[in-house]
Amino acid sequence: MPEVNIRHLDKVYDGGVQAVYDFNLDVKDGEFIVLVGPSGCGKSTTLRMVAGLEDITNGSLIIDGKDCTRLPPKDRDIAMVFQNYALYPHMTAYNNIAFGLKMKKIPEKYTDINGNEKTRMRHMTKAEIKEKVDWAANILNIEEQLPKKPGEMSGGQRQRIALGRAIVRNPKVFLLDEPLSNLDAKLRAAMRAEIVKLHNKLKTTFIYVTHDQVEAMTMGTRIVVMKLGVVQQIDTPTNLFDYPENKFVAGFIGTPQMNFFDVTIQKNGNFLKTVFEDGQTVDYKLSELRRIEEKYLDGDEHKVTLGVRGEKIELAKSGLKTALTIKEVLGDTTQLFLHLTEDSRDFVVCVSERADYNSGDTVYVKFNEKYIHLFDAETEASIMGRETGNQLKG
């Protein structure tokens, strides 16, 4: 079964500018891997190195046991779908899909005059090409678009044609580089579902690049989060959301963004004394928090960043005292933007009730202890494990 093994991949451009640092990833057969991160993080460069469109400076690329590090793109048995569709405007959809097949040669067994069975390469027949195109058109529900040219189709239809051109080749790996970024929000959501359905039907390996964390979370079986050319975390969508390994991942994954507070923590018996920037103190039960690295529970004060998602903050009659900046009613949910002091940045609370507050009102909140995250103030790495409960002695 085809797997993709990427080892210590670097990309350094002329002039010494490094775009990707020591990228390592093992992609299992049939996985849907998503590379995600902000613009300039190296995700598209990494994909283009896998495709053979960018030279690999250092490292190795193995596809289905075959060393493809220096192979030209045509010999890697991959298919790529681009952001701009890359369709030929003068060709019909049928001919765009069939174009690669007309150039492709397939193996054919024959028996020579001595009775020996041999293999030779030949071009596909028109009937074989038509069978392939019709198969792809049926999967993508684009039969009616086949006689049309790209200029006569919508963005979503053009994207389906680009996908069709890729799948007729039966590649070992599909590479998709921001394929939905040119579509409007409604169509983008629909095409996300279409691509996931396509992956489920084909059961082939997909490596997908996007800057949109919602796309990543809804499509990928595993996600690679990148920043400035460096992999930050590789994990399932659920684990990225629940157990981010650093502050960047915590802030990048999830909508709205995780709230962050600069705090000082100190172990105080069975509690974690937490002092916020405005001087307010809250004691959290250590038994309810996820396990904290022992060096932060030595009884001394430690500066850390506390993170908590808006949906894990509750309105209360007492607790952390804040003031309302603005309120946004979003149908059945309400977002409250609160602040600790006039100079502090707002944080958001997501509640299901309408929340009868006005700007300037005092609002008390409590954080659900099971969903609190703590990050080192300097390294920004998580200082918590995945299991709940802390050593309470001492």
Report pLDDT digits (tens) over 10-47: 999 999 999 999 999 999 999 999 999 999 999 999 99
Residue 247, pLDDT > 60, answer yes
> Between the ranges 14-18, 246-250, 286-290, where is the mean pLDDT highest?
246-250
Q: Cα separation of 115 and 125, whole Å?
A: 26
Strand stretches in 72-157, DSSP E = 78-81, 105-111, 117-123
Average pLDDT, stretch 49-58? 97
pLDDT band at 391 (very low <50, low <70, confident <90, very high): low
DSSP string, 154-215: -HHHHHHHHHHHHHTT--SEEEEESTTTTS-HHHHHHHHHHHHHHHHHH--EEEEEES-HHH
Q: Cα separation of 389 and 354, whole Å?
A: 34
Which amino acid does the sequence have at 164?
G
pLDDT band at 186 (very low <50, low <70, confident <90, very high): confident
3-class SS of residue 21: strand
3-class SS of residue 354: coil
* Residue where the block lists tokens 């992999």: 231
What are 76's two structure tokens? 């890697």
| Longest alpha-carbon distance in the chain | 94
pLDDT band at 394 (very low <50, low <70, confident <90, very high): very low
pLDDT band at 196 (very low <50, low <70, confident <90, very high): very high
Question: What residues does CATH 3.40.50.300 cover in the chain?
Answer: 4-252
- Degrees, nearest 5: CA angle 366-372-374: 130
Average pLDDT, stretch 296-315? 97
Segment 131-165, tens digit of pLDDT: 999 999 999 999 999 999 999 999 889 999 999 99
Q: According to the CATH classification, is domain 4-252 in 3.40.50.300?
A: yes
Average pLDDT, stretch 275-280? 96
Whether 70 contacts 60, CB under 8 Å:
no
- Give the pLDDT of residue 339: 97
Whether 256 contacts 246, CB under 8 Å:
no
Average pLDDT, stretch 284-298? 95
- Give the pLDDT of residue 355: 82
- Give the pLDDT of residue 332: 84
Helices marked H in the chain — which ranges?
43-51, 93-103, 126-140, 155-167, 185-202, 213-219, 237-242, 247-252
- Give the pLDDT of residue 393: 53
User: How far lies 198's CA from each of 64, 180, 236, in Å?
Assistant: 21, 15, 20
Give the dihedral sign, CA 212/248/52/131. negative
What are 45's two structure tokens? 């460069």
Q: Is the pTM of this model over 0.85?
A: yes
- Give the pLDDT of residue 229: 98
User: How far lies 208's CA from each of 39, 75, 129, 185, 305, in Å?
Assistant: 15, 20, 27, 18, 32
Average pLDDT, stretch 239-264? 97
**Residue 353: which region, alpha, beta or left (left: phi > 0; alpha: psi -120 to 50)?**
beta
Residue 296, pLDDT > 90, answer yes
Whether 207 contacts 33, CB under 8 Å:
yes
Distance of CA 75 to the CA centre of its chain: 28
The chain-wide mean pLDDT, for the chain, equals 94
Q: Cα separation of 350 and 24, whole Å?
A: 37
Residue 1, pLDDT > 60, answer no
Q: Cα separation of 63 and 51, whole Å?
A: 11
